[in-house]
Chain A
Amino acid sequence: EVHLLESGGGLVQPGGSLRLSCAASGFTFSSYAMTWVRQAPGQGLQWVSTVSVGGGSTYYAVSVRGRFTISRDDSKHTLSLQMNSLRAEDTAVYYCVKGDSNYYYDFWGQGTLVTVSS
Chain B
Amino acid sequence: DIVLTQSPATLSLSPGERATLSCRASQSVDNYLAWYQQKPGQAPRLLIYGASNRATGIPARFSGSGSGTDFTLTISSLEPEDLAVYYCQRSGGWPKTFGRGTRLEIK
Contacts and interface: CB of A to CB of B under 8 A. Distances in A.
Interface of A: 35, 37, 44-47, 50, 59, 61-62, 95, 100, 102-106, 108-111
A95 B98 CA distance: 14
Nearest to B38: A45
Interface in B82-105: 85, 87, 89, 91-92, 94-101
Interface in B58-101: 85, 87, 89, 91-92, 94-101
Given A102-B32, A102-B91, A47 B97 contact: yes
Contacts of B87: 44-45
Given A102-B50, A103-B91, A46 B43 contact: no
Interface of B: 32, 34, 36, 38, 43-46, 49-50, 55-56, 85, 87, 89, 91-92, 94-101
B3 to A, nearest CB: 13
B44 A45 contact: yes
B99 to A, nearest CB: 8
10 contacts: A44-B85, A44-B87, A44-B101, A45-B101, A50-B96, A59-B94, A62-B95, A104-B49, A104-B50, A105-B89
A24 B46 CA distance: 18
Nearest to A104: B49
B98 A104 contact: no
B92 to A, nearest CB: 8
Contact of A111 (B34, B43, B56, B100): B43
Given A35-B96, A44-B100, 7 more contacts: A44-B101, A102-B32, A103-B91, A104-B50, A106-B56, A108-B45, A111-B43
